[in-house]
Structure 1
Amino acid sequence: MKMAVLLLAYGGPDSLADIPAYLLDIRGGRATPQDLLDEICHRYAAIGGFSPLLHITQSAAAQLQARLGLPVYVGMRHWTPWIKDTVAQMAADGVERAAVICMAPHYSSLSIGAYRRKLDEALAQLARPIDISFVESWHTQPDYLEAVAANVRAALARYAPEERDEVLVVFTAHSLPEFILQRGEPYDRQLRETAQLLADRLALPADRWTFSYQSAAKTGVPWLGPQIEEYIVELAQAGRHKLVVAPIGFIADHVEVLYDIDIGVQQIARQYGVRVERPPMLNDSPAMVTILAALAEQALQPAIARG
């Protein structure tokens, strides 16, 4: 049986010229208002004019392939290489069974569920099915927790030893519409569980860490909060001027990290006399490859055992 791994990520523009078509796909074919287009172009221009997500994911995939000795493919939800094209290539290569891992640890129907729907649409087009083991969430995976905790420790170490007891760690994740709570989805619960487990590993008492959302879209419906941009101001007014902001809902250097945190949040923090340090993302690090290898091996274990 020919086995493989498929890594799924959000996708991002390769250049500023790609942004109109990229947004058109995200918005399901609806035209993008000019002010929104201008704002998104501004944000990508500020981080270098493109998204590094594809390069990061392909680098992780190449390292994972070398680690596992299995082919590893990459599919993007909103840009090339499209999930449907990657799945078609897998079928052409004779793949019979695949572990599918989304490059996001926490489940929501709006995030991981959307990847699954795109995958199912692609699989439905195949003449011969591929047996799929889909990893729905991995927010408590031990290697993931240890790798994020190590990066948070490194960020805390940028403060002088005598300052560290005053530093507040703020774990963040991408906000989603509040209606997911009414649906009973586990996204918020999983994020808070991850944050608590990280705090435990870091031996942070309750007054040394907190949780916030970030990067909410303006859609006319309420989104999960608090929002980090407002929360920074509240913390400053409460006398918390030393922060580590750790985006635990992201694995790689998305625009939500490189712009929303590194530029947007930092601008607000400076206005209020707040120092913000951000841990590095896992990206294509050896630690990330270890996480992906463990997830893939677990997903494929029955097939590996059968030989």
Structure 2
Amino acid sequence: MIGILHFAYGAPQSLDDLTDYFSHVLNGKTPPPPMMANIINQFARVGKADLIGGVTSRIASGLQQLLPTTRIYKGYRHTAPFIEDSVQQMLADGVTKIIVLPINPIFSQSGSGAVHAQVDTIVNGAVPVVHLNDWHLHPAIIALYANRVRRANNWLPQAAQQKAITFFTAHSQPLDTERNAPYIAQMEAMALAIAEAAALPAAQVAYRSAKERAKWLGPDVQEAIQTAVDNGHTGIITCELLSLAPDVESFFEIGADCQALCATLDIPFVQSEFPADSIDTVLALKEIITPHL
């Protein structure tokens, strides 16, 4: 039996789980009360149950229906079921091969790279392991994003569409030329492929969540929006590429925060939908997985 591990960063089940979640992110250190209060407030403001957990669970269920001869397992870096526990369960269940599928189309050393190393260490050669970390340009994924960003562009007032610009975004990274290189290359190649497939009038890569902008990848998406408006663009679209599923950071940083900025600039704004757990997303992932079965 082939086991497929579908993993993501974390999926708290309740607002009550957030302190444990972020303590795990901080290697066992409890966040200071003001920081924790701000985090809980952000999750509460979304007004929905955790976004990643719901999407990854439904993707896993969909893949199980489409790939009935395999077994789909979920795993998370910072919440249960933890990746290490899921991998141990796969081995206990007698899987003969493990396929590792991230929620992230774009590879980063600190993200998918760390999980790949973790899985390989746990498995220790007991069964073959296939890491799917190079599917950012798969035709089914490009078509998926092109469909959504084209819809976003068409949603703008017609007068704004011709000179609209789309910002393809991802979480920023600390500046480190060697470690950043694959992340930047995949990000830029994926953005270009989507922009061409969707026939967008203009597009640019930008980053979000930079802690220290001078020492992190840029440009910052809000600064890029301001520059674009100054240069005569008449509509703004944001499209996150780092993950198929929305999370709380992206909900605000390329959604509500950019929308508020555009309101002050008196320019139309629309956020492209995430692929999430829609049927075309699950079918695209099946297409990516199938050659490795």
Bin for the TM-score computed over the shorter chain: over 0.9
Q: Provide the identity percentage.
A: 28
SS class of match (2:27): coil
Partner of 1:283: 276
How far the C-alpha of 1:160 sits from its partner, in A, is 3.5
CA contact (8 A) 1:15 1:49 kept: no
CA contact (8 A) 2:75 2:83 kept: yes
1:124-203 mapped onto 2 (5 Å cutoff): 124=124, 129-179=126-176, 181-183=177-179, 185-203=181-199
Q: If the length of structure 2 is used for normalisation, what is the TM-score?
A: 0.92
CA contact (8 A) 1:109 1:185 kept: no
How far the C-alpha of 1:191 sits from its partner, in A, is 0.4
1:168-218: CA deviation from partner (whole Å, max 9, x where unpaired): 111111111111x2446310011001111112112235xx11110112235
How far the C-alpha of 1:130 sits from its partner, in A, is 3.0
Partner of 1:228: 221
Partner of 1:305: none
1:3-25: CA deviation from partner (whole Å, max 9, x where unpaired): 12111111132222212211111
CA contact (8 A) 1:229 1:265 kept: yes
- Structure 2 segments unaligned to the other structure (5+ residues): none
Partner of 1:303: none
Match of 2:206 among 192, 212, 215: 212
d(CA) in 1 for partners of 2:138, 2:209: 25
d(CA) in 2 for partners of 1:91, 1:203: 46
Partner of 1:55: 54
d(CA) in 2 for partners of 1:166, 1:221: 30
Q: Report which stretch shifted further, 43-52 or 131-140.
A: 43-52
Partner of 2:87: 87
1:281 aligned partner, one-letter code: F
1:89 aligned partner, one-letter code: Q
State the number of aligned residues: 292
1:106-136: CA deviation from partner (whole Å, max 9, x where unpaired): 1121111122133234335xxx923211112
In structure 2, do the counterparts of structure 1 residues 99 and 149 end up closer, same or farther at CA, with 3 Å as the change threshold? same
Match of 2:287 among 282, 291, 294: 294
d(CA) in 2 for partners of 1:295, 1:99: 11
CA contact (8 A) 1:46 1:259 kept: no
How far the C-alpha of 1:162 sits from its partner, in A, is 4.1
Q: If the length of structure 1 is used for normalisation, what is the TM-score?
A: 0.88
- Structure 1 segments unaligned to the other structure (5+ residues): 301-307
